[in-house]
């Protein structure tokens, strides 16, 4: 690595570390007066009651979690229940040394359970005005995630609901979140094949949610973003954070919500305008993550001028312009790891995912198929280049 490049990486790492520690998040609910940084607002009871898609949330909100009979049938994991004392023991009393990151609803700590298992513990920290929101998110997450089982979704090991305290216990993902890797917090650069692998893994996770195979009806994640894509030691991508997930009412293509929830920068414009939530809203967010993988930029970068802050608006018009596209490629990606053909194919797919009209976006199953082709084209192209090189 050249001196200038390693210096730039170091600087990026420093900035990213600062940001990750105090990230908070820029989640937004349209019920608040404006998008808020650091202090997201969320509706207490954000959606039309009685919708089929809310069945789970309503069941959950009816009674304190301790009093409920769990809907037994599909629960495979996520069922371990912990006490506050166990959570404290696991995290060394929530010491700063164990802090992995901060989100909109609290902090995530690395912990070791009595069994010796290493886990990630999300401590939900809520000021009283956000208590109901947080409670809802906690319950939806426990209920939905404990019924899901897929290699590209993070596993929920259990939870703690002790008095007012709420904790979620997840499998520990050694390499943290994707955004930190793209923003230079990690030591290792992500080359193109690795980025394609991550995109493919995340696409598989979303496609599983969107299929009915998970809980019998499709699930919309609604908060898909690069900090919610976690990586294990093998860089397998797993999707996390299901607190905003919504079950799609059976036989419907969309559901109307009275409040727009999600994260600034990943919002499907159609959902923002109409409140109409579709599976394609996740596809839009997936397109934004693809653009982050391609450019190494953040979905929203508040350090830039007002016209350049939003990644989609900034790059959308050049995604199918091969010449201009070259300049957008993340300089951290080593040139020997990609072919321009695969970059062009990837950019073209991303451009379709972020189309304003949701009906023009591909499905997640289409995305998987195309990403497999892109991966193949890249591998084949690179091996041909190597072959030609050897012949000279």
Ligand X SMILES: Nc1ncnc2c1ncn2[C@@H]1O[C@H](COP(=O)(O)OP(=O)(O)O)[C@@H](O)[C@H]1O
* Interface residue with Mg ion, options 29, 30, 155, 228 (CB under 5 A): 228
Q: Does 295 bind ligand X (CB under 6 A)?
A: no
* Interface residue with ligand X, options 43, 108, 244, 312 (CB under 6 A): 108
Whether 123 has a binding-site annotation, put simply, is yes
Residue 213's φ and ψ, nearest 5 degrees, are: -70, -20
Q: Does 107 bind Mg ion (CB under 5 A)?
A: no
**In the complex, what is the shortest distance from the CB of residue 176 to ligand X, in angstroms, rounded to a whole number?**
4
* Interface residue with ligand X, options 111, 158, 176, 262 (CB under 6 A): 176
Tell which residue, 127, 139, 123, 155, has the closest CA to residue 56. Answer: 139
* Interface residue with ligand X, options 154, 178, 214, 367 (CB under 6 A): 154
* Interface residue with Mg ion, options 47, 143, 241, 270 (CB under 5 A): 241
Which of 160, 173 has the CB closer to ligand X? Answer: 173
Identified catalytic residue from 46, 54, 180, 223: 223
**In the complex, what is the shortest distance from the CB of residue 183 to ligand X, in angstroms, rounded to a whole number?**
11
Which of 195, 225 has the CB closer to ligand X? Answer: 225
Q: Does 241 bind ligand X (CB under 6 A)?
A: yes
Catalytic residue list contains 223: yes
The residue with its CB nearest to Mg ion is: 241
Question: Could you say which of ligand X, Mg ion, none residue 173 binds, taking C-beta under 5 to 8 angstroms by partner kind?
Answer: ligand X
Residue 190's φ and ψ, nearest 5 degrees, are: -95, 110
Which of 101, 362 has the CB closer to Mg ion? Answer: 101
Stretch that binds ligand X, among 95-103, 135-143, 270-278, 292-300 (CB under 6 A): 95-103
Q: Does 172 bind ligand X (CB under 6 A)?
A: yes
Q: Does 311 bind ligand X (CB under 6 A)?
A: no
Which of 176, 296 has the CB closer to ligand X? Answer: 176
User: Known binding site for ATP: residues?
Assistant: 123
- Residues annotated catalytic, as ranges: 223
């Amino acid at each position: 690595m050249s001196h200038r490049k390693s210096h730039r990486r170091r600087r990026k790492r420093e900035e990213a570390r600062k940001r990750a520690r105090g990230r908070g998040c820029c989640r937004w609910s349209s019920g608040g007066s404006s998008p808020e940084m650091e202090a997201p607002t969320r509706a207490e009871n954000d959606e039309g009651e009685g919708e089929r898609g809310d069945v789970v949330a309503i069941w959950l909100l009816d009674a304190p979690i301790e009093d409920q009979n769990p809907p037994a049938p599909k629960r495979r994991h996520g069922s371990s229940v912990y006490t506050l004392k166990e959570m404290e023991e696991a995290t060394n009393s929530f010491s700063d040394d164990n802090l992995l990151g901060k989100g909109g609803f609290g902090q995530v700590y690395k912990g070791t359970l009595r069994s010796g298992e290493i886990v990630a513990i999300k401590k939900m920290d809520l000021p009283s005005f956000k208590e109901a929101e947080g409670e809802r998110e906690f319950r939806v997450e426990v209920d939905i995630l404990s019924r899901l089982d897929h290699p590209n979704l993070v596993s929920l090991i259990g939870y703690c609901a002790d008095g007012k305290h709420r904790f979620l216990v997840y499998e520990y993902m050694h390499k943290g979140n994707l955004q930190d890797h793209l923003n230079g917090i990690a030591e290792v650069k992500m080359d193109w094949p690795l980025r394609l692998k991550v995109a493919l893994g995340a696409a598989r996770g979303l496609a599983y949610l969107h299929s009915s195979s998970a809980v019998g009806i499709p699930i919309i994640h609604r908060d898909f973003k690069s900090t919610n894509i976690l990586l294990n030691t093998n860089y397998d991508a797993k999707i996390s954070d299901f607190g905003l997930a919504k079950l799609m009412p059976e036989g419907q293509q969309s559901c109307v919500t009275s409040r727009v929830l999600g994260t600034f920068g990943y919002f499907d414009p159609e959902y923002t305008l109409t409140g109409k939530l579709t599976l394609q809203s996740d596809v839009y967010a997936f397109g934004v993550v693809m653009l982050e993988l391609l450019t190494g930029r953040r979905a929203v970068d508040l350090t830039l001028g007002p016209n350049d802050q939003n990644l989609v608006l900034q790059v959308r018009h050049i995604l199918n312009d091969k010449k201009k596209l070259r300049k957008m490629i993340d300089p951290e990606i080593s040139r020997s790891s990609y072919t321009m053909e695969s970059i062009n194919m990837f950019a073209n797919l991303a451009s379709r995912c972020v189309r304003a009209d949701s009906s023009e976006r591909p499905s997640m199953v289409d995305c998987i198929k195309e990403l497999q082709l892109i991966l193949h084209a890249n591998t084949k192209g690179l091996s041909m280049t190597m072959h030609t090189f050897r012949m000279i």
